[in-house]
Amino acid sequence: MRKTELIQLGTDWFNQRDWEPLDFQVETWEAYLAGYHGILNAPTGSGKTYALLMPIVLQFINKHKDYRERTNNGLQAIWIAPIRALTKEIESAATQLCLEMGLQWQVGVRTGDTTASQREKQLKQMPEILITTPESLHVLLARKKYVRMFKKLQSVVVDEWHELLGTKRAVQVELALSRYKGIRPKLQVWGISATIGNLEEAMEVLLGSDVEKGQHKMVFADIKKEIEVTTLLPDEIEKYPWAGHMGLRMLPHILPIIKRSKTTLVFTNTRAMAEIWYQNLLKAEPDLAGQIALHHGSIDKNLRNWVETELHSERMKAVVCTSSLDLGVDFRPVESVVQVGSPKGVARFVQRAGRSGHQPGATSRIYFLPTNSLELIEASALRKAMQEGNLENRFPHIRSFDVLVQYMCTLAVSDGFFPEELYREVQSTFCYNSVSPEEWGWLLDFITTGGSSLQGYDEYRKVAIQDSGLYQVTNRRVAQRHRMSIGTIVSEPIMHINFVSGKRLGSIEEYFISRLNPGDIFGYAGRSLELVRVSGMTAQVRVSKKRATKIPSWRGARMPLSSQLSAMLRFKINEALRGDSDEPELKTIYPLIAKQQELSHVPSESEFLIEKMQTEEGHHVFMYTFEGRLVNEGMASLVAYRISLLQPITVTIAMNDYGFELLSDQEIPIETAIDSDIFTADHLHDDILASINAAEMARRQFRDIANISGLIFKGFPGKWKKDRHLQSSSQLFFEVFNDYEPTNLLLRQAFEEVTEFQLEENRMREAMNRINEQEIILTYPEKFTPFSFPLFVDRLRESTMTSEKLEDRIRKMKLELEKD
Amino acid sequence: MKRIDTTWTEAIICGEQLWLHPDKALFWEREKTLFVADLHFGKIAHFRKAGIAIPKEAAEPNWTRLRQVIVDFLPEKVCFLGDLFHSSYNREWEKMGDLTRAFASIEFELISGNHDLLHGTDYERVGITVLEDAVVRAPFLLTHEPAETIEAGLYNLAGHIHPGVRMCGLGRQTLRVPCFYFAENQGILPAFGQFTGKFTMRPKKADRVFIVVNEEVLPA
């Protein structure tokens, strides 16, 4: 069949349903049929699924004249989705398309939810289209004789690639693709991605280095959706709090929005906030009972599914949610979105706005609710960044040796591998392109002997080398353990929450439960619950009539300000000070910025502000980079470290998105420090590593790495080990490697991940360079300023940096006595 | 023999001269007895057995420290105040035999604690006398867990709790450090073993607390 005829066939199918294929859909079909790999840049709900399902079907029709009769064709295409919720929608679209195009194809889903019997059935006879998640790809690669399954594979589509990119799950995809290409060199690879700052790089990561130049294409859907941003302004800015993240005072402002919209999604930044907002909404408007629900990642799947069904069927007035509803299928009834507190990133804000207004031509409506005064400037910065299309990058992981160790073991568990062959495949991925032969040798050594520090322990001799040179796991116990621990999503230690009757409610971080005693009342999933007892990894609860006194805080839920937004913020602060802006946010904030100017100074874009003051607590120095919490944490440690080289001193550090605080019992010699060039970008990497935080952070980071690389076994189902054990033993590994094998690749990875992802070294370097070109303004305010006050009251993570001897510090301290 | 080392700190309890060693051991001058509590040897091997693999090197520093403390004081008797060995038998126990053989002239005894689960023969073999919980060596009453009732005239020496205290200073500095904790009629030793965690005590004014800071024991 000619290509035009094929395209016509696809168009006919659209026409039968009274649809017209969109330009980008046809463009994608053509690119696919011409044999290109590529990326389709399209938002959710744009018809992107058909853009890539269709050509897969057309290709098959083109190759097989008897396509209507052919059954049992083997696995033709794999569709990878980041979340299970998406798989259902794709499954029904694919099933319908195949049927109506006259194909005798099976469409199968394989995720963590798939039943054992369905999985067995799939293994016996693979469906033509398999919809699955990155983890499941690797589970399949751990099966004996897995190669057979992929003998007919034509293409792989990775949906929502931007969501995966920047996580280790993307690395799993890269590795799986490299293996499939080893089996099927002609495999076609396509990704679907929403707009991000680095689309080109996203494509490079997906396709790897073995795709020839000119063999790939990027297709843009180019669907512009109108987004209307309204900031909810506090009535009296003078009385609105300078600090805080809850914003409940603004709650009355959103009641009318909920009333006049068919359905409203209220996004909060943390699960704890979602719980609190839900309870307060109900208190403020009891009539909403039954028409309002709570949705976040720790709530049981069944409950979440119920909420989603109710959303679809227009029975919900409002749902308070977290990033749990960022993704997934569209809810047509949603007319308005409220964002409580700064979303901290432009892309996230756009994504959330896009969850409203699905009727053709409808506008997405998002209301921004500032939780403290300074967030008004963020609102204005967000709008400007959106207008300029200045979206964040997603940085891909590179050299994730933990995932590689796991992958090597996975292949060794199934059919084994030959090192030279595998090395070539692995090197073709973006992630492992720079792995040297020496490093590869270390990895082989590590999986066969445990490496130099774990030598002599049977449990680390996982993989045996056969006479033929094949690397294979021969020990059944090792194989069984490995199959069970495939996956890269590691979270905080999690406990189940069940009613005493056994009914499941959801999960919660062990950290929170460990601080409660039986009888304590806490808020969860919108109810007041009493802790009855803890048994194993389950917390048993009953409903309580009493008011909850504690709300769980889920760690790691707070996102740092992105660099896109940071840049806009610095710009907007100045605009606010000029007082001539038309923007309502900037007009409203003006008195506060004027106050900052009166008490201290408002830095222009060419200035760097430092404030120094003394209180009963000690000597404070505040510095404002407006670079986000992570960069501030790194900068604070670094600056504290460099100051501590000048004289013996102990400094406590606190930071937020705007700046950081150094606090000491003695005067901080900031004037001398500025003269001695503490902001230099020279020796940055070494100084970061030398500052104690890097080591402490690497230790924390290492827990995940130890888990993923299989150093630690999480236990068999039903008898999960207590995670606390895990933590302490991963720390022991960290210490032993640090002391005895500093070249250990997994150890080095921990440090690299910290500098790249947690401290964002590159961003820090840019910030340092910028500061070096700025004029440093040092002020000595008598009172806390609008900038310093939030740092003073709302300390996120505190840590201490010291160059004093412990003995000297202790001598200045007092014993904390029991309070009378 | 002159025993005084600048890193030791003297504490007089019930008129008895005690030396507090920064390696978390206590020496009773008159009876030439060395007290050590909560050593938790074998913990690492225990984890390994439970499927949590921990490199063996991690266990070594504790044994070195114990040998050093014994050499420092050259006591006539070493009394372990419980939790000597963390678990049921594993090979790490054989190191105990090496130690007692190396110091054959010293008497070793153990006030049995909640973690001491080895067979009697295991102790016998390495030359450790096991004593019931609560032994009187006037003026001291020796137990593993702090005694709930203490006869008048006796002073209880115990372990089990792994005591620590919180120190605070200007600039919102706080530190948690292990300590020797002497209350009115009860003294609690810090845990000797590493990786054991500590319990933060809430000291009353009259309590005497000696904190262990690196190479020093300091009165707090």
What's the predicted TM-score (pTM) here? 0.76
pLDDT over 60 at A489, yes or no: no
pLDDT over 50 at A245, yes or no: yes
Nearest to B52 among A617, A651, A725 (CB): A725
Residue A690, CA distances (Å) to A150, A251, A801, B90 in order: 49, 46, 11, 39
Share above pLDDT 90 across residues of chain A, in percent, rounded to a whole number: 48
B119 CB within 8 Å of a chain A CB: no
Identify which has the larger pLDDT, A481 or A362: A481
The per-residue pLDDT for A710 is: 85
- Helix or strand holding residue A412 (H, E): helix A401-413
Give mean pLDDT, residues A207-219.
87
- Token pair of A435 as six digits: 């792995």
Band the pLDDT of B87: cuts 50, 70, 90.
Answer: confident
Q: Residue B27 phi/psi, 5° resolution?
A: -115, 130
Residues 6+ apart with CB under 8 A from A778: A610, A611, A612, A670, A671, A674
For the stretch B109-118, pLDDT in tens is 999 887 788 8
The per-residue pLDDT for A271 is: 83
Share above pLDDT 70 across residues of chain A, in percent, rounded to a whole number: 91
Give mean pLDDT, residues B200-211.
90
For the stretch A374-394, pLDDT in tens is 999 999 999 988 888 888 888
Band the pLDDT of A205: cuts 50, 70, 90.
Answer: very high
Contact B167 A815 (CB under 8 A): yes
- Token pair of A767 as six digits: 């910030």
Q: For residues A781 and A613, is the Cβ–Cβ distance under 8 A?
A: yes
B211 CB within 8 Å of a chain A CB: yes
Q: Which residue of B has its CA nearest to A459?
A: B53
Give mean pLDDT, residues A403-427.
96
Band the pLDDT of A457: cuts 50, 70, 90.
Answer: low
| CA A163 from centre of chain | 8
Q: For residues B196 and B210, is the Cβ–Cβ distance under 8 A?
A: no
Residue A788, CA distances (Å) to A776, A780, A792, B152 in order: 17, 12, 6, 58
Beta strands in A116-199 (DSSP E): 129-132, 155-158, 188-193
pLDDT over 60 at A722, yes or no: no
Cα separation of A722 and B50, whole Å? 12
Crossing angle (nearest 10°) for helices A419-427 and A168-183:
120
Q: Which residue of A has its CA nearest to B209?
A: A815
The per-residue pLDDT for A203 is: 96
Q: Chain A residues with CB inside 8 Å of B218's CB?
A: 807, 810-811
Number of residues written out for chain B: 220
The per-residue pLDDT for A727 is: 54
- Helix or strand holding residue B155 (H, E): strand B155-158
Give mean pLDDT, residues A485-511.
72
Give mean pLDDT, residues B48-60.
64
pLDDT over 60 at A544, yes or no: yes
Contact B52 A457 (CB under 8 A): no
Contact A810 B177 (CB under 8 A): yes
A477 CB within 8 Å of a chain B CB: no
Report H helices in A492-628: 510-513, 563-578, 584-599
pLDDT over 80 at B211, yes or no: yes
The per-residue pLDDT for A694 is: 66
pLDDT over 50 at A676, yes or no: yes
pLDDT over 60 at A820, yes or no: no
Mean pLDDT, chain A, integer: 87
Cα separation of A12 and A21, whole Å? 9
The per-residue pLDDT for A360 is: 61
Edge-first strand order for the sheet with A527-535 is: A504-509, A494-499, A538-543, A527-535, A521-524
pLDDT over 60 at B178, yes or no: yes
Strands B186-188 and B155-158 turn out to be parallel
Give mean pLDDT, residues A252-278.
92
pLDDT over 60 at B133, yes or no: yes
Q: Which of A42-56, A499-513, B10-24 has the lowest mean pLDDT?
A: A499-513
Compute the 3-state secondary structure of chain A and give helix, strand, coil in percent, each to the nearest 5. Answer: 45, 15, 40
The per-residue pLDDT for A690 is: 79
What's the gap in Å between the CA of A737 and the closest CA on chain B? 9
Contact B52 A729 (CB under 8 A): yes
Contact A814 B169 (CB under 8 A): yes
The per-residue pLDDT for A246 is: 85
B205 CB within 8 Å of a chain A CB: yes
- Token pair of A319 as six digits: 């749902």
Domain residue extents for chain A = 3-220, 227-387, 494-543
CATH topology of domain B9-219: Purple Acid Phosphatase; chain A, domain 2 (3.60.21)
B203 CB within 8 Å of a chain A CB: yes
Band the pLDDT of A755: cuts 50, 70, 90.
Answer: confident
Domain residue extents for chain B = 9-219
Residues 6+ apart with CB under 8 A from A504: A300, A302, A496, A497, A498
Which of B47, B166, B172 is the best residue to mutate to test the A interface, defined by the most A CB atoms within 10 Å of its own CB?
B172
For the stretch A608-625, pLDDT in tens is 999 999 998 899 999 999
Identify which has the larger pLDDT, A656 or A79: A79
Nearest to B213 among A618, A664, A806 (CB): A806
pLDDT over 90 at A100, yes or no: yes
Identify which has the larger pLDDT, A810 or A316: A316
For the stretch A104-128, pLDDT in tens is 999 999 987 788 899 889 988 999 9
Give mean pLDDT, residues B55-59.
68
Give mean pLDDT, residues A216-224.
87
pLDDT over 90 at B27, yes or no: yes
Q: Chain A residues with CB inside 8 Å of B56's CB?
A: 457
Q: Residue A392 phi/psi, 5° resolution?
A: -75, 155
- Token pair of B106 as six digits: 């010293």
Q: Which residue of B has its CA nearest to A725?
A: B52
Give mean pLDDT, residues A226-231.
90
The per-residue pLDDT for A26 is: 96
B64 CB within 8 Å of a chain A CB: no
A459 CB within 8 Å of a chain B CB: yes
A712 CB within 8 Å of a chain B CB: yes
Contact B174 A618 (CB under 8 A): no
Contact A810 B168 (CB under 8 A): no
The per-residue pLDDT for A213 is: 75
B99 CB within 8 Å of a chain A CB: no
The per-residue pLDDT for A354 is: 85
Strand partners, A620: A613, A663
Give mean pLDDT, residues A187-211.
92
Mean pLDDT, chain B, integer: 87
Contact A814 B57 (CB under 8 A): no
Q: For residues B109 and B80, is the Cβ–Cβ distance under 8 A?
A: yes
Cα separation of A758 and A634, whole Å? 8
Nearest to A736 among B58, B166, B203 (CB): B58
Nearest alpha carbon to residue A294 among A35, A527, A482: A527
Q: For residues B24 and B36, is the Cβ–Cβ distance under 8 A?
A: yes
Q: Which residue of A has its CA nearest to B174?
A: A813
Identify which has the larger pLDDT, A467 or A816: A467
Contact B173 A617 (CB under 8 A): no
Give mean pLDDT, residues A116-145.
92
Torsion sign across C-alpha atoms A561, A567, A570, A574: negative
The CA-based dihedral angle spanning residues A91, A92, A98, A103, taken in that order and rounded to the nearest 10 degrees: 80
- Helix or strand holding residue A178 (H, E): helix A168-183
Give mean pLDDT, residues B81-97.
86
B61 CB within 8 Å of a chain A CB: no
Torsion sign across C-alpha atoms A642, A645, A646, A650: positive
Nearest to B171 among A652, A735, A814 (CB): A652
- Domain spanning A227-387 has what CATH number? 3.40.50.300
A740 CB within 8 Å of a chain B CB: yes
The per-residue pLDDT for A556 is: 42
Cα separation of B210 and B220, whole Å? 6
Which of B7, B165, B173 is the best residue to mutate to test the A interface, defined by the most A CB atoms within 10 Å of its own CB?
B173
Torsion sign across C-alpha atoms A479, A484, A489, A492: negative
Q: Which of A274-288, A317-331, B135-149 has the lowest mean pLDDT?
A: A317-331
What's the gap in Å between the CA of A454 and the closest CA on chain B? 6
Band the pLDDT of A504: cuts 50, 70, 90.
Answer: confident
Crossing angle (nearest 10°) for helices B94-102 and B60-73:
20
pLDDT over 50 at A315, yes or no: yes
Residues 6+ apart with CB under 8 A from A474: A464
Q: Chain A residues with CB inside 8 Å of B173's CB?
A: 650, 652, 665, 800, 809, 813
The per-residue pLDDT for A286 is: 92
SS (H, E, C) A534-569: EECCEEEEEECCCCCCECCCCCCCCCCCCHHHHHHH
Band the pLDDT of B2: cuts 50, 70, 90.
Answer: very low
What's the gap in Å between the CA of A713 and the closest CA on chain B? 7
Q: Which CATH superfamily is domain A3-220 in?
A: P-loop containing nucleotide triphosphate hydrolases (3.40.50.300)
Q: Which of A409-413, A514-518, A805-809 has the lowest mean pLDDT?
A: A514-518
The per-residue pLDDT for A511 is: 60
Contact A818 B165 (CB under 8 A): no
For the stretch A730-742, pLDDT in tens is 777 888 788 778 8
Cα separation of A359 and A379, whole Å? 26
Question: Which residue type sits at B143?
Answer: T
For the stretch A564-621, pLDDT in tens is 888 889 889 989 988 888 899 999 999 999 999 999 999 998 999 999 999 988 999 9
Give mean pLDDT, residues A348-363.
81
The per-residue pLDDT for A693 is: 59
Band the pLDDT of B56: cuts 50, 70, 90.
Answer: low
Identify which has the larger pLDDT, B4 or B116: B116
For the stretch A38-82, pLDDT in tens is 999 987 767 889 999 999 999 999 999 999 999 899 999 999 998
Give mean pLDDT, residues A719-724.
50
- Please identify which residue in the block is written with the tokens 């000619």: A2
Identify which has the larger pLDDT, A618 or A486: A618
